[in-house]
């Protein structure tokens, strides 16, 4: 036999929006209807998941990064002169683990056991790196031209 129970009443039942009498009627229906019991269980399950998804904690580092970028863009924050590892990674648009890989090439210093960067020193380093890359490109192009028969 097909169940004729209105699924909306299960939602109201779950939300506690039924009168005592109507809730008792649904409870009694549920006792004899496996398909409504399954739907109610699934509703509870999806409500739990939705609540968890809606409540997930956003990654703090990402949010701080965004806040800083927005405030800088709007001119309501000043660039820091001394950067932490996370700041430096963000400054160079790298992930933290990528920064760790090239750390020894970068101009960092140690302060109270922590690694710090001077913003200007990082900028100088970026300029030098740009020049190196340009020279490498030039040299590669030159070699290619020399190899190509006239």
Name the residues that contact other proteins, by CB under 8 A: 7-8, 11, 35, 38-39, 42-43, 45-47, 49-59, 62-63, 65-67, 69-71, 73-74, 76-77
Contact 106, 117 (CB under 8 A): yes
Question: Per the structure block, which two tokens stand in for 8?
Answer: 């909306």
Find the shortest distance in angstroms from Cβ 10 to other proteins: 8
Residue closer to other proteins (CB basis): 76 or 150: 76
Contact 82, 118 (CB under 8 A): yes
Residue closer to other proteins (CB basis): 11 or 121: 11
Residue closer to other proteins (CB basis): 27 or 35: 35
* Ramachandran sector of residue 85 (left: φ over 0; alpha: ψ -120 to 50; beta: rest): alpha
Find the shortest distance in angstroms from Cβ 44 to other proteins: 8
- Residue 56, classed as helix, strand or coil, is coil
Residue with structure tokens 């090439």?
105
Find the shortest distance in angstroms from Cβ 83 to other proteins: 19
């Amino acid at each position: 036999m097909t169940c004729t129970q209105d699924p909306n009443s299960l939602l109201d039942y779950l939300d506690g929006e039924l009168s005592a009498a109507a809730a008792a009627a649904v409870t009694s229906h549920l006792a004899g209807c496996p398909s409504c019991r399954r739907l109610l269980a699934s509703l509870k399950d999806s409500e739990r998941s939705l609540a968890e998804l809606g409540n997930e904690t956003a990654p703090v580092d990402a949010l701080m990064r965004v806040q800083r970028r927005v405030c800088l863009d709007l001119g309501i924050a000043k660039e820091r002169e001394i950067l932490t590892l996370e700041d430096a990674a963000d400054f160079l648009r790298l992930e933290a683990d990528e920064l760790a890989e090239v750390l020894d090439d970068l101009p960092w210093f140690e302060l109270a056991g922590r690694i710090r960067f001077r913003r200007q020193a990082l900028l100088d380093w970026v300029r030098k790196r740009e020049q190196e890359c340009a020279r490498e490109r030039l040299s590669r192009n030159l070699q290619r031209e020399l190899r190509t028969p006239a």
